[in-house]
């Protein structure tokens, strides 16, 4: 059950690392308010996503490994992923030189997370045992964590001028992620 607990917690933490990986201080202090507003929306969406996925994890780690508990958790992850995707798509990209690349990276990430959420839903709906289902879901969540880490690494590479880091530092809802990156 420990592996399951870690896997369910890994996705929101990895999503937070996408932001934390772009965070920290930089020499750039000028960022348009539109980019700071974009960062605020992104951080807020990631926070809501993380809260929902952590709630799903608590359902499972509390010992509720019934088919109903698994379905509840899967539904929660799917709903949170849909909301994250909708928000990211609605935000577009930041007003930076790397706008297209950032937008493409985040769209690719949310598309991958949608696929993982769908896979979790199908796994939970199967007639497999609870143990088999939990193991398959854990594996899928680890794949999602890898996708988030790859997106974070890519965003770090495209933020050569520090514009995104600067915007994140101006957005209040990004503060928890920036604090994590400094530890």
- pLDDT, residue 28, reads 43
Q: What is the pLDDT of residue 119?
A: 95
Say what the pTM is: 0.79
Rama region for 126: left / alpha / beta (φ>0; ψ in -120 to 50; rest): beta
- At 10 the pLDDT is 47
Residue with tokens 């769908």, as numbered in its chain: 118
DSSP string spanning 41-91?
HHHHHHHHHHHHHHHHHHHHHTT--SHHHHHHHHHHHHHHHHHHHHHHHHH
User: Going residue by residue through the chain (183 aa), what tens digit of pLDDT does each one get?
Assistant: 444 444 444 455 455 545 544 544 444 444 458 999 999 999 999 999 988 888 887 776 776 578 888 898 899 999 999 999 999 999 988 988 899 999 999 999 999 999 999 999 999 999 888 888 888 888 888 898 889 889 888 888 888 788 998 998 999 998 888 776 555
DSSP-assigned letter for residue 173: G
Contacts of 177 (CB under 8 A, 6+ apart): 16, 19, 20, 23, 43, 46, 168
Nearest-5° Cα angle at 75, 55 to 137 = 80
**What pLDDT is recorded for position 135?**
84
């Amino acid at each position: 059950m420990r592996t399951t607990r870690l896997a369910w917690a890994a996705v929101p933490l990895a999503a937070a690392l996408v932001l934390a990986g772009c965070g920290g201080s930089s020499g750039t202090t000028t960022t348009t308010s539109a980019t700071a507003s974009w960062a605020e929306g992104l951080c807020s969406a990631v926070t809501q996503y993380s809260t929902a996925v952590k709630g799903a994890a608590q359902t499972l780690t509390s010992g509720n490994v019934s088919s109903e508990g698994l379905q509840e958790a899967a539904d929660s992850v799917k709903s949170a992923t849909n909301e994250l995707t909708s928000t990211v798509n609605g935000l577009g990209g930041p007003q930076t030189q790397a706008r297209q690349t950032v937008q493409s990276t985040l769209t690719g990430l949310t598309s991958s997370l949608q696929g993982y959420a769908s896979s979790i839903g199908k796994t939970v709906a199967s007639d497999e045992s609870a143990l088999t289902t939990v193991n398959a879901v854990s594996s899928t969540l680890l794949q999602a964590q890898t996708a988030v880490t790859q997106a974070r690494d890519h965003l770090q590479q495209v933020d050569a001028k520090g514009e995104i880091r600067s915007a994140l530092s101006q957005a209040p809802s990004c503060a928890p992620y920036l604090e994590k990156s400094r530890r």
